[in-house]
Amino acid sequence: FSISMDQFELEDELGKGNYGTVRRVIHKPTKVNMAMKEIRLELEDQKLNAILMELDILHRAVAPEIVEFYGAFFVEGCVYYCMEYMDAGSLDKLQGVGVSEEILARISGAMVRGLKFLKDHLQIMHRDVKPTNVLVNRQGIIKLCDFGVSGQLEKSLAKTNIGCQSYMAPERIQGESINNVGTYSVSSDVWSLGLSIIEVAMGHYPYPPETYANVFAQLTAIVQGDPPTLPDGFSDEACDFVARCLMKEPTRRATYSELLEHSFLVKDEERGKDGVDMVSWVAGAIEWKEKERLKASATADLGL
Ligand code: ATP
Ligand code: MG
């Protein structure tokens, strides 16, 4: 079936990215809550049709670790893309309260299985693995979104600002500076996976804050510096797991199958479905963020 704008009731804004806004919407015919992402493009209709055709393969991206795709359409040069609404938002919004090793392993396992599914069943790489593209719901389920299915769409994105926090692997940064294309393979996603896992554990982007405002310093740190490591308190196993993702030489990085066989994830598997209380962690993280937000606004009100 096909969807169109008049079937939706627009609700609250869920977030803004580099290319547009994501809102919660209600699909009136089915009463289903969805997340609708608006992507602004400047293109003739022909190209838009090519994009919609490419996005169609998303209907085949059905797996427990992948956000469900409901359909896409365009209105006045914008592509609207409707997907499953994840009511706890993205991982970056939940980090800060802290994670135990068990929680971190569960998140990592879901990410690895999701990425492996994309590779094995759709023959695609993600290309944009980072905490804002890992979504969570209040049942504690972790799913990936925003993977690069449409080459045409990617080419048409008017990148307004290069993000201040790069998850790109060193070889991709170097490739881009040389030929603007980048030598890019699945192992580059493995780097971004490792960096995202460390970010969730630390509660903030792993490279030093001095590099947030200076893209050049940040890319230099990624290419020339040592890879980041997990903070204190995590097991040697956990540290080894991320180290295998963050090898600077891409061919030395672990494959998804190797990561799934790693004791860090094998132990997670052994804990079983109900062995880790993800629901309480999500609830606690949301509550903590809300308190932080109230504290910050109280401070602002006092004019401090
Ligand atoms: P970038 O533009 O660099 O990819 P981003 O991933 O943050 O950054 P968007 O993909 O536009 O940008 O998403 C904006 C925000 O909307 C996300 O950070 C996320 O918190 C929220 N979001 C996106 N999709 C959903 C969804 N399906 N359910 C709930 N929240 C979502
Ligand atoms: Mg995103």
Q: Which ligand is nearest to the CA of 91?
A: 1
DSSP H or E segment with residue 78: strand 78-84
Of 64 and 78, more confident: 64
Q: Rounded to the nearest 5°, which phi and psi values hold at 49?
A: -65, -40
Q: Which atom of ligand 1 is nearest to the CA of 34?
A: 27
Q: Is the pLDDT of residue 161 over 80?
A: no
Ligand 1 neighbours by CB, cut-off 6 Å: 14-20, 22, 35, 37, 67, 83-86, 89-90, 93, 128, 132-133, 135, 145-146, 163
Cα(68)–Cα(84) distance, integer angstroms: 5
Q: Which atom of ligand 1 is nearest to the CA of 130?
A: 6
The pLDDT value given to residue 303 = 72
37 assigned binding-site residue: yes
Predicted TM-score (pTM) of this structure: 0.94
**Which are the contacts of 121, defined by CB distance < 8 A and separation ≥ 6?**
60, 61, 63
Nearest residue by C-alpha to atom 13 in ligand 1: 17
Q: Using the Cα atoms of residue 278, residue 282, residue 287 and residue 292 in order, give the sign of their dihedral.
A: positive
Among 11, 19, 22, which residue has the most ligand 1 atoms within 8 Å of its CB, making it the best to mutate? 22
Q: Give the number of other CB atoms < 10 A from CB of residue 213.
A: 9
Q: Which atom of ligand 1 is nearest to the CA of 37?
A: 11
Q: Which atom of ligand 1 is nearest to the CA of 133?
A: 6
Cα(129)–Cα(116) distance, integer angstroms: 13
Q: How far is the CA of 204 from the centre of ligand 1 (A)?
A: 17
pLDDT-derived band at 7, boundaries 50, 70, 90: very high
Cα-atom radius of gyration of the chain, to the nearest Å? Answer: 20
Contact 67, 84 (CB under 8 A): yes
Which of 119, 107, 29, 98 has the alpha carbon at shortest distance from 70?
Answer: 29
Q: How far is the CA of 143 from the centre of ligand 1 (A)?
A: 12
pLDDT-derived band at 179, boundaries 50, 70, 90: very low
pLDDT tens-digit map of 81-90:
999 999 999 9
Structure tokens at 254: 């672990």
3-state secondary structure of 156: helix
Half-sphere exposure (CA, 13 Å, Cβ side) for 108?
36
Cα(210)–Cα(152) distance, integer angstroms: 35
Per the listing, tokens 């449409």 go with 150
Q: How far is the CA of 136 from the centre of ligand 1 (A)?
A: 12
Q: How far is the CA of 131 from the centre of ligand 2 (A)?
A: 9
The DSSP secondary structure of 104-118, one letter per residue, reads HHHHHHHHHHHHHHH
User: How far is the first Cα of the chain from the last one, in angstroms, to the nearest whole number?
Assistant: 54
Q: Rounded to the nearest 5°, which phi and psi values hold at 144?
A: -95, 150
Structure tokens at 150: 């449409």
Nearest residue by C-alpha to atom 12 in ligand 1: 17
Per the listing, tokens 């690895």 go with 112
Cα(65)–Cα(271) distance, integer angstroms: 18
Task: State the complex-level ipTM.
Answer: 0.98
The pLDDT value given to residue 54 = 86
The pLDDT value given to residue 180 = 46
pLDDT tens-digit map of 100-155:
999 999 999 999 999 999 999 999 999 999 999 999 999 999 999 999 888 788 87
Q: How far is the CA of 304 from the centre of ligand 2 (A)?
A: 33
Of 180 and 115, more confident: 115
Nearest residue by C-alpha to atom 31 in ligand 1: 89
Q: Rounded to the nearest 5°, which phi and psi values hold at 64?
A: -60, -25
Q: Which ligand is nearest to the CA of 35?
A: 1
Catalytic residues: 128
Q: Using the Cα atoms of residue 210, residue 216, residue 219 and residue 221 in order, give the sign of their dihedral.
A: negative
Nearest residue by C-alpha to atom 23 in ligand 1: 22
